[in-house]
Copies of this chain bind each other. A is one copy, B any other.
Amino acid sequence: MTIPAYRTPALNRQVLLVERPPGIPQPEHFRLAERPLCGPGQGQALVRNLYLSVDPAQRGWAADLNNYAAAVPVGSVMRALGVGIVLESRLADLRAGDIVYGWTGWQDYALLGADEILSSVSDPQIPISAYAGVLGINGMTAWLALRRLGRPRPGETVLVSTAAGAVGSVVGQLARAEGCRALGLTGTDDKVSACVTRFGYAAAFNYRSADLWQSVDAEVGEGVDILFDNVGGDLLDMALRRMKVAGRVVQCGTASIASWHPAPTGLRNEREILSRRLSWNGFVIFDHKAEFSAAIHSLEALIRAGRLVYDEDIEHGIELAPDALRRLYAGANAGKKLIFIG
């Protein structure tokens, strides 16, 4: 089945990566182009994209450094996740009209194979945009990384960096739901406030404040059981030195480090790992595809129950995507950053 109104669109606007960014991607590393669009081949679906995601992980995908994924080739569409509606399907389990979340790229239309689709939008009571954020890799990362690597137990203290971000805002609420005491690090006083009033944190701290660790120490008490770190760098070093014996460190991102070439230096941490018997684990959501569906259903249930809130920061227009990524790294977003192009 096809949706006639969308049949054979002639042109596809695409955001191309035209230069490899040495650090944080800037608008000049991208270019908007129009290219002719083909129909789906066997094993593909033609998808009209609705929401394009802007994610911290895109810096790594655009860079040519050792990473968990191959670099986006210069000259090709910028890799991105997104939510779109199927216009025409030559995939067995997908029909026109289905709404899917997957590797759409930053473009109007995508031809997706089965491997490029991560989930289908399953609950009509929840806004579609949520499937690109709190029910996408951000929320699933919070759910799976906290449970699998953090292993929270009631009464434990969980310290989260980028606590008001798309991942951190979910971690705070999940940690609280597990009976933990969540403490958040974030970059503005407004976000500090959102952490406490909206995202389940017992306390939150502006990491730009001069007396940051004095304030944290007053709340941390005997120490941190779980460090959920999205930033790396000095904040990580200082947080490691507050871990309890047998604490768990979840390394989910390294957003504070602008470039890994050359590799920056910092405090040596192996003595902390040894003497505190830490377990420090790296997390990449795409290792856990088999658990996506279960994670989404659990998160949907929390949303329906009013126990999981989320903020979105949505801009309109595909041409805004590159600058939105730049501003995401500057902390100038107020929730999950999405570009609406429907």
Contact = CB atoms under 8 A, between A and B. Distances in A.
B268 A263 contact: yes
Contacts of A257: 268, 270-271
Given A263-B268, A265-B265, A265-B268, A275 B229 contact: no
Interface string A296-307: 000000000000
Contact of A267 (B252, B263, B282): B263
Contacts of A66: 241, 275
A264 interface: yes
Contacts of A68: 245, 274-277
A277 B283 contact: yes
A56 to B, nearest CB: 12
- Residue with the greatest number of chain B CB neighbours at <10 A, chosen from A68, A233, A280: A280
A78 B245 CA distance: 25
Contacts of A280: 273, 278-281
Contact of A269 (B253, B269, B284): B269
A232 interface: yes
Contact of A67 (B266, B270, B275): B275
A280 B278 CA distance: 8
